[in-house]
């Protein structure tokens, strides 16, 4: 009996021990569960907060996108309005051109040449140029219809041009960015080349003129300017070896000119008031350069052996000290230019000596009659000789040295001195005496024996 009582006591103790262990395990598990639930609750709270922040950022981004979309729509509307304004402006310009053409050449008389003044932003210069032109153009407006071509939208230039009923206004609006080919280049030279191409395309292709005279907005013209170019138009038509007729002589300073009737052929493009034909422009337009169009025309590959007619005494005067060229050479070479003041009756003049078949002999005879001068002190020797003289130079450096002594242009382009024909530059010196600076093979080209 005692043994059974002890066994019961041990069983009760074991059961209480097991219950205690189970209770402890239960308590431990509950504590772990509570800790885990707390951890998950914290994570859930963090996730909810992150989600809320993300939602807020998304809404902010959506608002920003909506604002940007609104701006894009506004910009598109602004571009549409600008495009519409540009179309209206172009239509207005075309209407003005059409009215001007009908008014100026409505009598069906074929014009000799259109005259276009290339302008940009110098209203004061342009006004002086227009007044100079109208002084001589008004009585013969049907022969020489006048155009002003403006590059850009300077309001003063536009207002001035539109204030004249005697001319037709054209406007070149070019918004394409300019990319220069070399660092440090002036963008102006690129924009000028674009403007020239556009204006000449308009006058030759759209308005169908046979010839165009190109002037710049800083020029005055001579009293016989239009008569000179009318005579030049006949030469252009008769002789296809003449690429253009110019009113300019690079060595036309007062001390180097005298005879207002004298004309010459030149292998060097003079520019500064010049006329070309539609057929020549059809050749030049497709390959027109991006910049420096005048020097481009002086390349042999472009004028291809053709020559230019130039006067001894200039028919244009360039007063533009301030411009794209920044007044280069103005004081030395442009300001002293003599503008012709003699009313030459070009209709009565026989200019057949300027035709290719006649000119080489004509010019060769002048050179042949000139007395040769050799050695140093060329200026002193030339001054002490009556009549024309000729001085032979060995090469470009030697030419530049002699030209510097006399004070004429020293510059060459593509192997040709300014104003030269067959390498010969001619100018007056002190009196009616002509000085011929003769290249090493010039006499041979002219067929003149070196005596």
Q: Which of the residues 294, 341, 377, 450 is marked catalytic?
A: 294
Q: Is 377 a catalytic residue?
A: no
Cα angle 322, 323, 327; round to 5 = 55
Q: How far is CA 214 from the centre of its chain?
A: 14
Mapping DSSP to helix (H, G, I), strand (E, B) and coil, where does residue 245 land? strand
- Cα dihedral 92/96/97/99 (nearest 10): 140
Q: Under 8 Å CB-to-CB from 280, ≥6 apart: which residues?
A: 243, 244
Are 440 and 393 contacting, i.e. CB atoms less than 8 angstroms apart?
Answer: yes
For 11, list phi and psi in degrees, rounded to 5.
-65, -45
d(CA 52, CA 58): 10
DSSP string, 380-426: HHHHTSSS-EEEE--SHHHHHHHHHHHTS---EETTEETT-BTTBEE
**Lookup: tokens for 135:** 């002084």
d(CA 357, CA 361): 8
Q: Which residues pair with 246 in a beta bridge?
A: 274
Pairing mode, strands 242-246 and 274-277:
antiparallel
Mapping DSSP to helix (H, G, I), strand (E, B) and coil, where does residue 275 land? strand
Cα angle 117, 119, 125; round to 5 = 95
- In sign, the C-alpha dihedral spanning 66, 72, 74, 77 is negative
Mapping DSSP to helix (H, G, I), strand (E, B) and coil, where does residue 311 land? strand
Active site residues: 294
């Amino acid at each position: 009996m005692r043994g059974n009582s002890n066994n019961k006591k041990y069983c009760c103790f074991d059961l209480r021990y097991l219950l205690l262990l189970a209770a402890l395990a239960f308590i431990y598990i509950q504590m772990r569960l509570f800790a885990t639930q707390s951890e998950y609750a914290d994570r859930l709270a963090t996730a909810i907060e992150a989600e809320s922040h993300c939602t807020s950022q998304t809404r902010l981004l959506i608002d920003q996108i909506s604002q940007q979309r609104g701006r894009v729509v506004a910009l598109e509307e602004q571009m549409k309005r600008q495009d519409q304004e540009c179309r209206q402006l172009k239509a207005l310009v075309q209407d003005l051109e059409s009215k001007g053409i009908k008014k100026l050449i409505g009598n069906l008389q074929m014009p000799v040449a259109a005259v276009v003044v290339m302008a940009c932003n110098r209203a004061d210069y342009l006004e002086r140029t227009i007044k100079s032109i109208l002084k001589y153009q008004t009585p013969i407006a049907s022969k020489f219809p006048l155009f002003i071509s403006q590059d850009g939208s300077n309001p003063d230039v536009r207002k001035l041009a539109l204030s004249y009923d005697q001319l037709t206004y054209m406007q070149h609006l070019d918004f394409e960015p300019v990319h220069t080919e070399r660092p440090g280049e002036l963008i102006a030279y690129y924009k000028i080349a674009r403007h020239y191409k556009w204006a000449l395309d308009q006058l030759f292709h759209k308005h169908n003129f046979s010839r165009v005279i190109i002037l710049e907005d800083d020029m005055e013209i001579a009293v016989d300017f239009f008569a000179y170019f009318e005579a030049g138009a006949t030469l252009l038509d008769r002789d296809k070896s003449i690429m253009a007729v110019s009113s300019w002589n690079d060595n036309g300073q007062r001390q180097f000119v005298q005879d207002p009737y004298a004309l010459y052929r030149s292998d060097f493009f003079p520019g500064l008031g010049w006329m070309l034909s539609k057929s020549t422009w059809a050749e030049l337009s497709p390959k027109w350069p991006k910049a420096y169009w005048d020097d481009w025309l002086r390349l042999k590959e472009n004028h291809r052996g053709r020559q230019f007619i130039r006067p001894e005494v200039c028919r244009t005067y360039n007063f533009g000290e301030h411009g794209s060229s920044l007044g280069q050479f103005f004081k030395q070479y442009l300001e002293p230019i003599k503008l012709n003041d003699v009313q030459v009756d070009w209709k009565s003049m026989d200019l057949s000596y300027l035709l290719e078949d006649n000119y080489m002999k004509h010019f060769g005879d002048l050179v042949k009659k000139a007395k040769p001068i050799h050695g140093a002190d060329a200026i002193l020797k030339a001054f002490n000789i009556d009549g024309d003289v000729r001085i032979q130079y060995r090469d470009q450096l030697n030419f530049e040295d002699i030209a510097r002594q006399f004070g004429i242009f020293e510059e060459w382009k593509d192997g040709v001195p300014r104003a030269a024909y067959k390498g010969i530059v001619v100018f007056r010196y002190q009196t009616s005496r002509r000085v011929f600076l003769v290249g090493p093979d010039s006499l041979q080209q002219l067929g003149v024996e070196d005596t």
